[in-house]
Amino acid sequence: MPETEGPTSKTDAPVRIEQLVKGFGRQRVLRGVTLSFPRGKTTVVLGPSGCGKSVMLKHLIGLLRPDKGRVFYEGEQIDLLSERKLGPIRREFGVLFQHGALFDSMTVAENIAFPLREMRRGKAYDEEARVRLVLRLVGLEHTYHRYPAELSGGQQKRVALARAVVLRPKVVLYDEPTTGLDPIRSDVINELILKLKQQLDVTSIVVTHDLASAFKVADHMVMLHEGKVVLEGSPEEFRNATDPVVKRFLRGEASEEELQAIRAVGTGMRDTDGGMRGWE
């Protein structure tokens, strides 16, 4: 299908979405999101929990289909493709899923080799060399024979990242890569995001709540709120943002409506002598 001239089509962007609308039942999650993810750059997508960041990411690789709107990869509309035709496109993406666990019963090396074995393109890879290469990239070559349970949470994330890039992707998607890690381990992941961008020359899309991480890795930033893009721009533009929704998010403050909702729940639970009902 020919690509129409959209407002963002002039940007050199391998990945684009246009007017994406997605809901589940009566819940409207994405309400018309148009974004371009610039080539070779890292775009950070910010937004409160539940605003649809993971849902948006899943559309980029056809794991979810839009109710309305379109998804493009290298100028080709992909949201209508069959699973079979999506296969080669998905191989261009490396994905670090939010809850993407390693297989416990496999060693680190077997976990990383898994996508190589899954891919039946008749190409003979030197599997061990490839696994060692990506393990070296994440600084964990010595864990080759270990099992996930023998690694720390931060190391497991790094192994998952090695697995995400073993097929040498053109685009890497990171869904909350630093969640659950302490600041030092988070920073190791940030450094890896920067290093992979340089060494593999990839386009990166990072979904995160972690503002320190966001400002460290971002070339370009987007904020989603209530299913729409509230701001898209450089990290500098985000630092100087005047939009109250963006400012509140960056300061880590709840909105007045959110606070009122919490206070209302509190009053409903309290009985007359100040105890909390139902806790006895």
The binding site for Mg ion (CB under 5 A) comprises 54
Residue 111 CA, distance from chain mean position: 20
Which of 3, 12, 24, 101 contacts ligand ATP by CB under 6 A? 24
Shortest reach from residue 99's CB to ligand ATP, in Å: 9
Amino acid sitting at position 61: I
Report the C-alpha gap between 88 and 166 in whole angstroms.
Answer: 15
Nearer to ligand ATP, 63 or 133 (CB): 63
Shortest reach from residue 228's CB to ligand ATP, in Å: 13
Backbone dihedral angles phi then psi of residue 190, each to the nearest 5 degrees: -60, -45
Is there binding between residue 53 and ligand ATP (CB under 6 A)? Answer: yes
Identify what 102 binds: ligand ATP, Mg ion, none; CB under 5 to 8 Å per kind: none
Nearer to ligand ATP, 47 or 148 (CB): 47
Shortest reach from residue 2's CB to ligand ATP, in Å: 30
Identify what 24 binds: ligand ATP, Mg ion, none; CB under 5 to 8 Å per kind: ligand ATP
Nearer to ligand ATP, 53 or 170 (CB): 53
Shortest reach from residue 53's CB to Mg ion, in Å: 5
Q: How far is CA 224 from CA 112, 142, 228, 270, in A?
A: 33, 40, 5, 35
Is there binding between residue 55 and ligand ATP (CB under 6 A)? Answer: yes
Which of 2, 7, 49, 104 contacts ligand ATP by CB under 6 A? 49
- The tokens 């890292």 sit on which residue? 42
Backbone dihedral angles phi then psi of residue 238, each to the nearest 5 degrees: -70, -40
Is there binding between residue 67 and ligand ATP (CB under 6 A)? Answer: no
Shortest reach from residue 179's CB to ligand ATP, in Å: 8
H or E element, residue 221: strand 220-225
Which of 42, 54, 190, 213 contacts ligand ATP by CB under 6 A? 54
Nearer to ligand ATP, 11 or 19 (CB): 19
The single-letter DSSP state of residue 10 is T
Residue 142: which of 92, 108, 193 has the closest Cα?
Answer: 108
Stretch that binds ligand ATP, among 48-56, 105-113, 164-172, 251-259 (CB under 6 A): 48-56
* Contact predicate 136/88, CB 8 Å: no
Helix segments in the chain, DSSP class H? 53-60, 83-90, 108-118, 127-137, 153-165, 183-200, 211-217, 235-239, 244-251, 256-269
Nearer to ligand ATP, 10 or 26 (CB): 26
Nearer to Mg ion, 58 or 216 (CB): 58
Beta bridge partners of 37: 15
Report the C-alpha gap between 14 and 76 in whole angstroms.
Answer: 9
Q: Which of residues 202-221 bind ligand ATP (CB under 6 A)?
A: 209
Binding site for ligand ATP (CB under 6 A): 24, 29, 47, 49-55, 98, 209
